[in-house]
Amino acid sequence: MCRLSFRRRSLSTSLSKVDSSSRRLLVIGCGGVSQCALPLLIDYLLLKNHIQSITIIDVLDQRARIQQHLSKYAQVKYEQDLITRKNYGEILSTYLSSGDILLDLAYNIETRCLLKWCHDHQVRFVNTSVELWEPFGEAYKNDPRLLTLYHRQMQLRDMQNDITWNRNGPTAILDHGCNPGLVSHFVKRALVDMAQHVLSSKDIQIATDEKQQLQSALKAKDYPQLSYLLGVKTIHISERDTQLTKDPKKVNEFVNTWSIEGFVEEGAAPAEMGWGTHEKSIPDGTYFHDEKDGPCNQICLATNGINTWVRSWVPSGEIIGMVIRHGEAYGISKYLTIYDKDDENNNNVLYRPTVHYAYLPTDSAISSLIEFRMHNYQLQPKLRILNDDITEGADEVGVFLLGGRYVSAWWTGSVLDIHQARKLVPGQNATTVQVAISVLAAIKYCLEHPNEGICLPDDIDSEEILDMCIPYLGTWVSKASNWPEKDDKIRDDWQFTSFQTMN
């Protein structure tokens, strides 16, 4: 890892006063999301003079994939280079200085190192996942908990707890893709919509004092209190990707609609979830985190994410999805936690929902995963991201709030089909559009709120983000669901083990 040495630094340069005509944007990585984000960054930032240049760095020569933009705009440049723990500081210093922006869309470049450098050099920062240099190194093999995103968050916490760290330094928004990222804002919108539905529906009986409490929480935008009052027990980040290709998957080929390396890394890691206070049944192979270290709002399982399946639902119907580790399981469950007000040490948790991903990828990706398992979890030699070859289908991704006191199930999110996606960002697929617009919204937030320090999606203004993103999310859905059926065992107690299947 990088050396995280600390020293006091002057904050004499105000980021909000940096002249936008000299502001630069450096993008690390030129994969599917980066290629999709580039035309948005040009339209909303470069051409509106919020930045003066965009430089993209990737270890591979991907110029051909963005050549139309390189040819059209002299301010857009491409550099081929390998960023390592030894040279990252030198490379960043070449392209960035105070007031500039770093967008990290790569994998296996340690987030803490980039954050520390940006903090010390007054550079704003946005990424879509918290990364390490070597996520599957020897040091992590003996304890599954060391492979969790919770462990990475605790490392970030320790970095910020250093007395020399300025918490009001340059804004750095972590985990701000679609999920993690947008789904945190979906949760807040879902809670508001759900509460307003409860208060306005003539078919729902609610006591006067409970009604007043809901109204007060709505007015105060107290989302943890809203979740508690509505009785939300479980939140699924439910996603189904039905995009179909005209070119079927071939033998020894991994096919997906987004980063294959990223998918495989998080899918092969232990299943991980925010753990609710209503849970009574402990799944087999559960690992708990040390109560002396952090909020302990999560657990992990001995099984990896791609082998841990649960029942869930999206607007097109019931799904069976994988409990793949994702940053929102940490962020949302931590944000919605309510502690005993009389406990100064926050050791007594009164309320927390269970939060986890339930992901059903494309048919091509499912076939790829089966072959990946057959190869003893060794990645296939050929990798392909679906794009122009997609003929139909959509990406349904949202938050599914379950177990409520007045409404048992509520889904809020995006249904974006391939034809809508291509109209919004030509040449791209639905999945990358949902991520790319969230990345753009996070950068714009950094420009308008330059000195807020390190933020998770849950920490920033959701309406500001959603106003930017919803026009790019296809069909916007926020409604009650009658899933599961009334006699389903899930409804008995909304336990995680009741959702589990195929284990």
Nearby residues of 314 by Cβ (< 8 Å), 6 or more positions away: 238, 239, 240, 396, 397, 398, 400, 411, 413
**Percentage of the chain lying above the pLDDT 70 cut:** 93
Which of 104-118, 140-154, 486-500 has the weakest average pLDDT? 140-154
Best CA proximity match to 428, nearest among 439, 417, 444 = 417
- Report how far apart the first and last C-alpha atoms of the chain are (Å, whole number): 36
Please tell me the CATH code under which domain 24-173 is placed.
3.40.50.720
pLDDT score of 301: 97
What Cα–Cα distance (Å) separates residue 254 from each residue in 34, 261, 386, 433, 434? 20, 10, 10, 21, 22
Rounded Cα gap, residues 311 and 326, in angstroms: 17
pLDDT at 5 (0 to 100): 46
* CATH fold for the domain made of 182-428+470-502: Dihydrodipicolinate Reductase; domain 2 (3.30.360)
User: What mean pLDDT do residues 315-342 have?
Assistant: 96
Q: For residue 136, what are its two tokens?
A: 């599957």
Is the bond into 484 cis (omega within 30 degrees of 0)?
Answer: yes
Of the pLDDT bands very low, low, confident and very high (cuts 50, 70, 90), residue 345 is: low
Tell me: the pLDDT tens digits for 402-413? 999 999 999 999
- More confident call, 293 vs 322: 322
- pLDDT, one tens digit per residue, over 241-272 is 999 999 999 999 999 999 999 999 999 999 99
Residue 446 has pLDDT above 50, yes or no: yes
- For 226, list phi and psi in degrees, rounded to 5: -60, -45
Average pLDDT over residues 86-92: 98
Rounded CA-CA distance 160/432 in Å is 31
The pLDDT confidence band at residue 346, using thresholds 50, 70 and 90, is low
Model pTM score: 0.95
pLDDT band of 480, cuts 50, 70, 90: very high
Tokens of 353: 């929902």
| CA pair distance 150, 436, nearest whole angstrom | 25
454-455/172-173 β-pairing:
parallel
pLDDT recorded at residue 1: 52
Per-residue model confidence (pLDDT) at position 10: 35
For residue 378, pLDDT over 50 is answered with yes
% residues pLDDT > 90 (the chain): 88
Q: How far apart are CA 310 and CA 216, in angstroms?
A: 35
Q: Where are the domains of the chain?
A: 24-173, 182-428+470-502
pLDDT band at 135 (very low <50, low <70, confident <90, very high): confident
Residue 153 — φ and ψ, nearest 5°? -65, -35
pLDDT tens by residue, 381-405: 999 999 999 999 999 999 999 999 9
pLDDT of residue 6: 40
pLDDT in tens, 38-85: 999 999 999 999 999 999 999 999 999 999 999 999 999 999 999 999
Per-residue confidence at 432, pLDDT binned at 50, 70, 90? very high
Residue 454 above 90 pLDDT?
A: yes
Q: Which two tokens stand for residue 281?
A: 């049944």
- What is the rounded average pLDDT for all residues in the chain? 94
Q: What is the pLDDT of residues 2-18, one digit of tens each?
A: 655 444 333 333 444 45
